[in-house]
Amino acid sequence: MLSAEALVKRFGRRIAVDGVSLALQRGEVLGFLGPNGAGKTTTMRMIAGCLEPDSGRVRVAGTDMAADRRAAQALIGYLPEGAPAYPAMTPRGFTAFCLRARGYSGARLKAAAELALARANLGAEADQTIATLSKGYRRRAALAAAIAHDPPLLVLDEPTDGLDPNQKDGVRALIREMAADKAIIVSTHILEEVPAVCTRAIVIARGRVLADAAPAELAAQARSGRLEDAFRQLTAEEAA
């Protein structure tokens, strides 16, 4: 569903992403794990077609992002970092707005919006102004808009960041529900998040992939504490 090959992005003299490759299939939830500043957001922006790589290639279900961005982006649901949404709109209005931008109208738009709002568990809050919603519901509103066109690939940048434990659980449950028939990549800087939602994980630091672990391996590494040790060291180095 997704193939990223040797992605590189520089900002001035700083290399934010330094040759990241990854592949993702339907049914997988890939954890994209790394300390702050590791290059997660920059990689996800390139995967979503919002930022052009200096070199490297992104393909979504075989469609090349650089050659046919519109077709590739139609297959992606992207939740940017911080889950931005227009605060003056309601979740229903924002979801409809995003669907219209994708060419939906009439009954098809209405049906897709209803399904997305239900999937994101927005009840009466679907008609409340986004500015007045709690953080958890604001996140759900952005998620509803991201999944409304029922894309087979979801790119979620720190979807649970800043939420309280209950809200985190809600968003994780939603990701697990959607996982069966989609390919999902979820970034996080919190190690504990990975076993809660992911079937596989990639660890990234300083723009490079350090580890790509299968579920069993990852569980073993997590149990032995090796992953925690490596991660703590990286986080400390980044902070230094």
Q: What is the binding site for Mg ion (CB under 5 A)?
A: 40-41, 81
Interface with ligand ADP, residue 53, by CB under 6 A: no
Phi (first) and psi of residue 92, to 5 degrees: -65, -45
Chosen from Mg ion, ligand ADP, none, partner binding at 170 (C-beta under 5 to 8 Å by type): none
Interface with ligand ADP, residue 77, by CB under 6 A: no
Amino acid type, 184: I
Q: What minimum distance in Å lies between the beta carbon of 42 and ligand ADP?
A: 3
Q: Of 4, 7, 16, 174, which lies in the binding site for ligand ADP, with binding defined by CB under 6 A? A: 16
Chosen from Mg ion, ligand ADP, none, partner binding at 42 (C-beta under 5 to 8 Å by type): ligand ADP
x/- letters, 106..145, toward ligand ADP (CB under 6 A)? ----------------------------------------
Residue 88 tokens read as 């003056």
Chosen from ligand ADP, Mg ion, none, partner binding at 34 (C-beta under 5 to 8 Å by type): ligand ADP
Interface with ligand ADP, residue 11, by CB under 6 A: yes
Query: What is the per-residue burial (b if ≥16 Cβ within 10 Å, else e) of 3-34?
Result: bbeebbbeeeeebbbbebebebeeebbbbbbb
Q: Of 41, 90, 167, 221, which lies in the binding site for ligand ADP, with binding defined by CB under 6 A? A: 41
Strands ordered across the beta sheet of 183-188: 76-79, 153-157, 183-188, 29-33, 200-205, 208-213
Q: Detail the DSSP E strand segments found in 25-164.
A: 29-33, 55-60, 63-64, 76-79, 153-157
Q: What minimum distance in Å lies between the beta carbon of 34 and ligand ADP?
A: 5
Rounded to the nearest 10 degrees, what angle do helices 226-239 and 215-224 cross at? 80
The closest alpha carbon to 193, from 33, 61, 36, 55, belongs to 33
The residue (of 50 and 74) whose beta carbon lies closer to ligand ADP is: 50
What residues line the site for ligand ADP (CB under 6 A)? 11, 14, 16, 34, 36-42
